[in-house]
């Protein structure tokens, strides 16, 4: 049950990735990279990496 909630939370965060990209684009146009933009550029790839590792692990458990 806890795992289900975790997956839902991950999905919610990934739905906001497009919004984050828009914010990054806006900030870059307004005057280069801001501190929050740099954090975002680090945060998003880390989230993708965690998400893909979790999914690979889950798939290997199912096929095993």
Question: In total, how many domains does the chain have?
Answer: 1
Identify the residue whose tokens are 């999914």: 55
Kindly tell me if the per-residue pLDDT of 15 is higher than 80: no
Q: 6 or 34: whose pLDDT is higher? A: 34
Kindly tell me if the per-residue pLDDT of 12 is higher than 70: no
Position 1 scores a pLDDT of 45
Kindly tell me if the per-residue pLDDT of 56 is higher than 70: yes
Domain that holds residue 40: 2-63
For every residue of the chain, DSSP letters joined together read -HHHHHHHHHHHHHHTHHHHHHHHHHHHHHHS--HHHHHHHHHHHHHHHHHHHHHHHHHHHHH-
Rounded to two decimals, what is the model's pTM?
0.33
Position 45 scores a pLDDT of 81
The whole-angstrom distance between residue 13's C-alpha and the CA centroid of its chain comes to: 6
* Stretch 2-31: mean pLDDT: 65
**Cβ 37 vs Cβ 28: under 8 Å:** yes
């Amino acid at each position: 049950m806890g795992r289900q909630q975790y997956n839902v939370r991950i999905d919610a965060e990934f739905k906001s990735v497009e919004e984050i990209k828009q914010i990054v684009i806006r900030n870059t146009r307004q005057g280069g990279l801001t501190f929050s933009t740099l954090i975002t550029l680090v945060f998003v790839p880390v989230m993708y990496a965690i998400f893909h590792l979790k999914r690979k692990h889950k798939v290997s458990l199912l096929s095993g």
